[in-house]
Amino acid sequence: MRLVSLHTYPVKGCYRLDLDAARVEPWGLAGDRRWMIVGDDGVGVTQRQVAGLVAIRPELRPGGLLLRAAGWPALEVTEPTDGEPIVVRVFSNLPAAPARRADPAADDWLSRLLDRKVRLVWLGDPTVRPIPDTDLVDPADRVSFADGYPLLLANRASLDALNSSLLESGEIEPLPMTRFRPNVVVGGAGLWAEDDWTGRRLRIGPVTFRVAKPCGRCLVTTTDQETGVRGREPLRTLAKYRRINRQLVFGQNLVPVIDPTAPAGTLAVGDPVELLD
């Protein structure tokens, strides 16, 4: 098995970055979901509510971000380092975490683009947010502004199997892997091989991960990541073939097994992928 692609999402819910290599930190890939757009209530705004987030194409810069969107002037955003932190939540039912507000110019840019009042916040200290599924992880595990786990793995062969099912149901166009917003995509595994990895350890290149749990999928997967247009797939087909423990499953959630005081390992496309136990 090999690592065939790597992706991060600098601003939660917005467009991805496709990478050749990425450093692994205890809370996820470097730069992944350290920024989040929130409403007045301090709760994250995601593609579940606003499909138009796909139009925002962030680029990482030393010490900040460059925000781009077609037809809009680009905006430089600096990581905020002063001011009182504010309390935010990824979802309203999850524990709060302190974050810092970006420059008001970013709030204005995003509010006008999304046609709603929002704020941009930065998770300056990712050690403050525990993984929400406390029953399945170590209490010391941490996560960025990702929904629940530091990394999401997807299997290319499983996407091929899903697309075959879509074709049988009358869908003409296959779905790209981008619909599932993974961090790491594995090639060379069998169809749905990842189902058997739950609770085991997986090594990708120099880094070992715990395979925590299958990923239950939501409305976001029905959103075209290039246009923001929603459809019915893949949830309709997943409901027929991939309903597991009352969830529509595609992919696996990973937790890095690394010493936070040691140098971080780096993943690169082409790295070998090995199931350890």
Domain locations along the chain: 2-8+133-275, 32-125
Q: What is the pLDDT of residues 152-161, one digit of tens each?
A: 999 999 999 9
When the candidates are 3.30.70, 3.40.50, 2.60.120, 2.40.33, the CATH number that belongs to 2-8+133-275 is 2.40.33
> Can you tell me the mean pLDDT for 157-171?
91
Q: What is the pLDDT of residues 242-257, one digit of tens each?
A: 999 999 999 999 999 9
The rounded distance, in Å, linking the Cα atoms of 137 and 25 is 16
Statement: residue 97 has pLDDT above 80: yes
Percentage of residues in the chain with pLDDT exceeding 90? Answer: 89
| Pairing mode, strands 151-155 and 119-122 | unpaired
**How high is the pLDDT of residue 136?**
73
Whole-structure pTM over 0.75, yes or no?
A: yes
The rounded distance, in Å, linking the Cα atoms of 269 and 162 is 23
**How high is the pLDDT of residue 260?**
65
CA angle 134, 262, 128 (to 5 degrees): 35
Report which of residues 158 and 168 the model is more confident about: 158
> Can you tell me the mean pLDDT for 177-185?
98
Statement: residue 189 has pLDDT above 90: yes
In whole angstroms, how far apart are CA 274 and each of 1, 8, 19, 28, 133? 7, 22, 21, 19, 25
